[in-house]
Structure 1
Amino acid sequence: MLYVKDILLQLLFALTPFVLYTIYYRDKAVNYSKQFITITCMICLFMSMTFPASVQNGIIFDIRYVIMFFGMLYGGMTTGVFLLVEFLIYRLLIGGQGLVSAIIILSITFTLSALLSVLYRRLSEYRKLITFFAGIIFSIIPIVTMFGTEYQYTIQHLKFNILVMPVQNFLGIWILISLFNKAVSDKELYLRYLQSEKSETIAHVAASLAHEVRNPLTAVMGFLKLLKDDSITREKSRKYIDICLEEIKRTEVILSEYLAIAKPNHSMVEKIELVQQIYSIVDIITPYANMNNVSLEMQHSEDKIYVSANPTEIKQLFINFIKNAIEACTVHATGNVSIRIERQSKYAIITINDNGVGMSNEQMERLGSIYFSTKSKGTGLGLTLSYQLIRSMNGNVTVRSKSEEGTEFILSIPLTD
């Protein structure tokens, strides 16, 4: 039982670098450094030599060979030299009968550790075999050396020397390197995932930017086409030009927001008259609806309904919903989108109804999920951002739809005094 306690204590010291690694690097976006390996190995070596396994004063056994091999494997020769110096100084201070034997054993194992660590790094396909061989040879060398230098002691405590030393050295090397390798591999996968996620985020932001900018540009294009008609009046021309300029300004705002994407978002909230706001949006989106042979209808029960929101964001929100409704109707020769605004209790209810392609139950469940779109060329970002904006206003979105029978979006937004 005493032997088991000694082995378990030394194995605990052997696992110290792995434990410290998992604690220290758990939330860091970098992997281990050689300095970390050197410091943790020196701590581990000091602890194992301070509380060694021993059956005779002056002759001590610990997991110094395990730590030496591990340190040179992950920290390089510099770490090995630091550990060698630490061991020699501390072992000379401890002194005792086994001092000469300890120095002979360490000189052999140090050389082998340097050789095996080089092979380990170069021959990646044989790493398990090299680890196994290191565990065996670092278990045999101390016993053979002790037979030559301390024969009487070795025979007297043969059971201890045959069981304790090989078990703690072999298990120490195998467990420590296996666990540390697994932790390092998982960390590398995590770091690669972070890098790919950054690249993917950039791609998604670019797609989102294109989606958001396309809406005002589509409106500008529609009005510019109308301006080519010689029959329109001067008053209408000026109105169309004003709308185009307004949309270009909105594009500039969108671009500015995306350029500042890394900065904290302090959205300016204002009291907005909803009916007039949606009428202005309908004016903007009408040319796009005409291009797709879709008619727009507007109904409202009251002339003034007020909500608190950011003017640019809520404008983009309704453009996203109405534009999606228009695009859903393009399969029909005569599409129709109706917009109804009413007051219910403490909420403004905006209902957007179309006679388009509709959606299945599965599609409705995924609406608002990031990067999900029912359109073959859509990113889904516009609707995702719209859902998020409504929720940030403590509002709600309800969807009713059937395939080939159209869709109804019901947006609930809290009223403001």
Structure 2
Amino acid sequence: MGMQHFLINLLVIFLSILFMQFWLNQPLRYNRRNEFVMFISLGFAILLCMLFPFKISAGLIFDLRFISFILACFYAHPFTAAVLGLLTIMIRAIHGGEGMWIPIIAIPVLYLVCMWTRPLFNRNKIRIRLLLTSTLVFLTCSGVLLSIHLLFNDLLTFGFMFSFIITHILGMLLTVYLVEYFHTQHLLLTKLIRMEKVEVVSHLAASISHEVRNPLTSSRGFVQMVQESADITEKEKQFLDVAIQEMDRATDIIHDYLTFAKPAPDKVENLSAKNMMEKAIHVMQPLANLNNVVISSRMSNEVVKGNAGLYIQALVNIMKNSIEAMPKGGEIHITSEVHNQTVRIHIQDEGIGMTPLQITRLGEPYFSTKERKGTGLGMMVVFRVIEAMNGEVQISSEKGVGTKTTILLPTG
């Protein structure tokens, strides 16, 4: 009879995860709303689990509430998990009985342990996550059963204790795997959509950029000749200067299009990550000085494979975004590290930051955080060049704090 109740609990948890993942994977969802959805979904699962428990006596109630609570501790915000912990304690206190103090004590202890191990969980991939969560739920269930056995002696049979622990472990493994699977599929779908958009822009760039750049270059030369004429007024020279600046801007955009249309480098060579960064910093130093931005670099001298020109352009685009994100000045910190034959280059600024929604759209054609001043081509080039080098770009940001861009490249 107990197994039947536990299976009902598992079904409730699975349904809540399906609802939660469906909602969170929708576009245009904000961080606070995500937390609210997770609170409702996991809170609903905890509530239903505790409404359909297996009762040995009036004071001993068994269900799978710990699975949903551990999910909240690792996947939701710590505050959301804490509120769900309080909700679990309140519901258990309403049930009452002699054994209510055991889970009431277990929940805060489990929360503290989860918060302590959360950095380890976030740093690792699915195998370690499965091992960590299943271990925690095993220790929690064992501690609860041991406490009940010591306090209430012969009320629990070995068969029940075994099924209670095994159901928790299997349920924990399945739920974490489901969450990770849905998240991976969502990332793949997002990447596929971005690649399709990129391909459209790439074909467009290849077809028109050359035809536009040549007449634009000629027009700029004639405008510059007129500007140097002695027959025009100073105000007319200012107008012509604006025209030249806009032509230069158009030329830069076309250059980005051409780079984007052909990201695969003609010449691949061994590059010093440190030397390439120093060259990129040298290019951006005048702009940084103009905006009161200090660039500090502590790079290790690792070797990567790629095209020097394209790689430097990608670094320049990232630093240019960082500088423009700090209108009042600031500092850009550049560091690197090597892990599992992968070079990680971190570029951290103190700018205005971005929302989670803006981060997910970075690299899309024509999406820019600079409102009307940007085209979005700069980050498109960054993603395309780094991908051509068999690398990856990771972005983390917080509004009002800054943005951290991490480039992952295989060592040469």
The TM tier, using the shorter chain, reads 0.3 to 0.5
Please, what TM-score do these two structures have when normalized by structure 2? Answer: 0.46
TM-score when normalising by structure 1: 0.46
